[in-house]
Amino acid sequence: MSENSPKAPRWAIWLPLALFAGFVALVGYNIARPASRDVPSRLIGQPLPAFDLPAVAEGRPGLSRSHMTDGKPRLLNLFASWCIPCAAESPQLAALAAQGAEIDGIAVRDHKDDLAAFLARNGNPYTRIGGDDVSAVQMAIGSSGVPETFVIDGKGIIRYQHIGDVRPEDVPLLLQKLREAGQ
C-alpha cells in the first residue's frame, strides 16, 4: 500500500471473526428449522388445463374439464389405492362430502381392481373418478404427489391447493375455501 493510504481502525481486526460467526448463525438457524418439502402448484388463480380422463371405478363416470365448469365449486382430490396417506384422509373426505362438498377424484397410476378394493375399504366420497395412468393430468395441474386436494371454482379456475393428506383440522379451511370459490 502507498504511504498515504488510511490505516484501518483497530476494531476492524474482529471483522472476519464476526463475519464467520454470522455465517455459522445463519447455517445453524436454517439447519434447526425444518424446511418444507412441498412444491406448490403455480397454477393457483389459473384455469384448469383441458383434460379428459376415462372412468376407472364401477358406477362413477370419468372426469374431464368440461364437468368442472358447471358453475358449482368443488374439490378435486388426487389419490391412489397404493398411497397410504390417501387411506388416512378418507374419513375427512367423507366429512367434507357430508357437509355438502362435491368431490371429484383423479386416481393416479391405479389398477381398476386395486381401486375398487380401496373404495370398498375406505368409502367412496367421489362424484366422478378419472384414471390418470401416466400422471399426465397430475403434471398439467402442477401437482407433485398424492394425496393433493384442489379447490376449483364454478368456472374451472384453480382457487386453492392442499398438499398432503387432509387432516381433521384442515376440513374447516377447505370448506371455507369452497365457500369463497362459490362467491
Sequence-distant (≥ 6) Cβ neighbours of residue 114 within 8 angstroms: 81, 82
Sequence-distant (≥ 6) Cβ neighbours of residue 101 within 8 angstroms: 74, 75, 174, 175, 178
Quick note: the x/- pattern for other proteins over 53-92, rule CB under 8 A, is ---------------------------x-xxx--------
Quick note: the x/- pattern for other proteins over 103-122, rule CB under 8 A, is -----xxxx--x--------
What SS3 state is found at 182?
helix
Asked if 147 and 75 count as a contact pair (C-beta separation under 8 A), the reply is no
Taking the least distance from each CB to other proteins, the nearer of 96 and 106 is 106
User: In angstroms, what is the minimal distance from the CB of 110 to other proteins?
Assistant: 7
Pick one of 94, 95, 140, 175: the residue that binds other proteins (CB under 8 A): 140
Distance between CA atoms of residues 134 and 111, nearest Å:
12
**Among candidates 34, 48, 54, 56, which has minimal Cα distance to 161?**
48
Taking the least distance from each CB to other proteins, the nearer of 42 and 155 is 42
Query: Considering the rule CB under 8 A, would residue 142 count as an interface residue with other proteins?
Result: yes
129: which strand partners?
105
Taking the least distance from each CB to other proteins, the nearer of 65 and 111 is 111
User: In angstroms, what is the minimal distance from the CB of 152 to other proteins?
Assistant: 16
Distance between CA atoms of residues 179 and 169, nearest Å:
17
Query: Considering the rule CB under 8 A, would residue 168 count as an interface residue with other proteins?
Result: no
Binding residues for other proteins (CB under 8 A): 1-2, 37, 39-43, 80, 82-84, 108-111, 114, 133-136, 138-142, 144-145
